[in-house]
Structure 1
Amino acid sequence: MSTPVDGAPPTLAVTGSTGWLGGLVAHDLSARGVRQRLLVRDLARAPRLAGSVAARCSYGDGEAARAALEGVEMLFMVSAAESADRLEGHLAFVDSAAAAGVRHVVYVSFFGAAPDATFTLARDHAATEEHLRASGLAWTFLRDNLYLEFVDQLVGQDGVIRGPADGGRAAVVSHEDVARVATAVLLDPAAHAGATYDLTGPEALTFAEMAQVVSEVTGRDVRFHDESLEEAYASRAVHGAPDWQVDAWVSTYTAVARGELDGVSGDVERLTGRRPVSLREHLAAQRRA
């Protein structure tokens, strides 16, 4: 890690700056004149931002993580890419943060995170939250709902969204709204210590309603097919993904069916001062772009 010419390395560290969420947050903070330390696995991919330095860091590499976090007070922790050992990496990284003297972690979790959540990966988030609570560090949890940017990507080549979601609802939220909340929290972290925020869009939709919105805005003929569990596993088996991944894909829908992603929160607007973007607004903006 290089040290800026104007003094010591920044005490705010941001993970995931080469991805969509960490990237949005890092760019927003830089535009506001906030100095930050970008923790990345590949230094060559780190964004070049005013007031930032890059440090090589991997969640599962305790020695490298502790070195990268030395002198950091505030840490923005984006959840790692989905993998069979993601939770182990999360827990190790929290331990590294505590050992390095980090004071406060803002962690990107998931709506309804709980040890018995239907969505399998939400259980990993619950375990990470619990580890942070026990770490002695101050913490803030940002629990985002399903991302509305993914809705039209769920549409198959035949124009069908498939999944065992029944008539359940999800309060899908945009990437940019989650990033705006994260920035607001990082600009005044003490005000949000110990808080858990549910980040949702302005409405909770069934997948049939999502399909209708996609149809109306894009002009495509899109519909939703409510699969049985057997159909869901069979239709995803063709991808050759490992069992844990298929379970995660299917349980996304069954969690919706059980009402675990339903419920609109006012946290996005309260923290950012802006009404969250709806699925219709997002798709319309894409069409205009």
Structure 2
Amino acid sequence: MIVVTTPTGSIGNQVIAGLLRSGEPVRVIARDPSRLSSQVSERVEVVRGSHGDADVVGKAFAGADAVFWLVPPDPRATSVEAAYLDFSRPACDAFRSQGVGRVVGVSALGRGVPGNAGNVSASLALDDLIASTGVSYRALTMPSFMDNLLRQTEAIRSQGMIFSPISADLKAPVCATRDIADAAVRLLLDPSWSGSGDVPVLGPEDLSFDDMAQIMSEVLGRPIRPQQVPVEAYRSGLTDHGFSEAMAQAMADMATAKNNGLDNAEPRTPQATTPTTFRQWCEEVLKPAVLA
């Protein structure tokens, strides 16, 4: 039995699709099972509730061989530690008590990089917390996602612009969520590994926002320009959209760390390089969204 958290999220739903193709039995934890497609809900066991709840994870992890773990976003959390570590403590207790064999988690690049990186630092601390339970653990460590640009679909469509607190000329790795899901599925289906470790997922190329805007322009057939947003304006914009002060600051700290080269610290290897190019992603994912 493989348990999947965040089954309706952009990564979780792709993990489920890959697992169902394998024929392995799947159980999901869902706050709102009605959001599951009928194709999924008819083929999985559903435990209703939050995977931050001790009773829910205790029930869901019973008899589980492997768990896909992803902390859901909580923009109103009182602290970044509460959002990542406190949310996950009940699950860590359940990994032990239910004898879960293996856990695959979604994390971030940046281990060993000094300084506070906001959400990234909390994610890396969570990796250490999960590993301390003794469960076999693999942290998928990623740079920024290509799919994050889907949040700017309207700005791309109406203004021909993309906005970021990251310098437009800074080249860094970027990856597609479907490649993250594929990496997770491979690990969840492979019972041969043990211990704890990181699995970088870097994408096939380092790109700046200038590079991405040029590729988007070519794919969409219209000019797209990048615009760097000052970090303080970025932080203020998040609070204007409902983020707590603590979580807005964590996002700003993460952006500052990325702008200082956080995502460039991981050496690129063939094993860490995933197949989906940014151009391919634009053609297959972004363009249909913009034209919709």
The two structures have a TM-score, normalised by structure 1, of 0.83
Match of 1:267? 271
How far apart in 1 are the matches of 2:225 and 2:50?
Answer: 41
Match of 2:71? 79
How far apart in 2 are the matches of 1:68 and 1:112?
Answer: 31
1:28-61 Cα shifts (integer Å, max 9, x gaps):
1112211111222233334444652112242321
1:110 partner amino acid:
A
1:279 partner amino acid:
F
Runs of at least 5 residues in structure 1 that lack an aligned partner in the other structure: 1-10, 270-274
Q: Which of 247, 250, 253 is matched with 1:251 structurally?
A: 253
Match of 1:92? 90
- For the structure 1 residues 119 and 75, does the alpha-carbon distance in structure 2 shift closer, same or farther, using more than 3 Å as the test? same
- For the structure 1 residues 117 and 214, does the alpha-carbon distance in structure 2 shift closer, same or farther, using more than 3 Å as the test? farther
CA contact (8 A) 2:102 2:194 kept: no
- Whether 2:26 is the aligned partner of 1:41: answer no
- Whether 2:275 is the aligned partner of 1:280: answer no
2:279 partner amino acid:
R
1:164 partner amino acid:
P
Match of 1:62? 54
Runs of at least 5 residues in structure 2 that lack an aligned partner in the other structure: none
**CA-CA distance at 1:117 after TM superposition:** 5.4
Percent of aligned pairs sharing the same letter: 24
User: Which 10-residue stretch deviates more, 146-155 or 27-36?
Assistant: 146-155
**Helix, strand or coil for the counterpart of 1:17?**
coil
How far apart in 2 are the matches of 1:94 and 1:46?
Answer: 26
**CA-CA distance at 1:149 after TM superposition:** 1.7
CA contact (8 A) 1:165 1:255 kept: no
The two structures have a TM-score, normalised by structure 2, of 0.82
- For the structure 1 residues 135 and 288, does the alpha-carbon distance in structure 2 shift closer, same or farther, using more than 3 Å as the test? closer
CA contact (8 A) 2:29 2:51 kept: no
**CA-CA distance at 1:284 after TM superposition:** 1.9
- For the structure 1 residues 227 and 31, does the alpha-carbon distance in structure 2 shift closer, same or farther, using more than 3 Å as the test? closer
Greater relative contact order (CA < 8 Å, ≥ 6 in sequence): 2
Q: Which of 121, 124, 128 is matched with 1:123 structurally?
A: 121
> How many residue pairs align between the two structures?
274
Match of 1:6? none
How far apart in 2 are the matches of 1:198 and 1:138?
Answer: 17
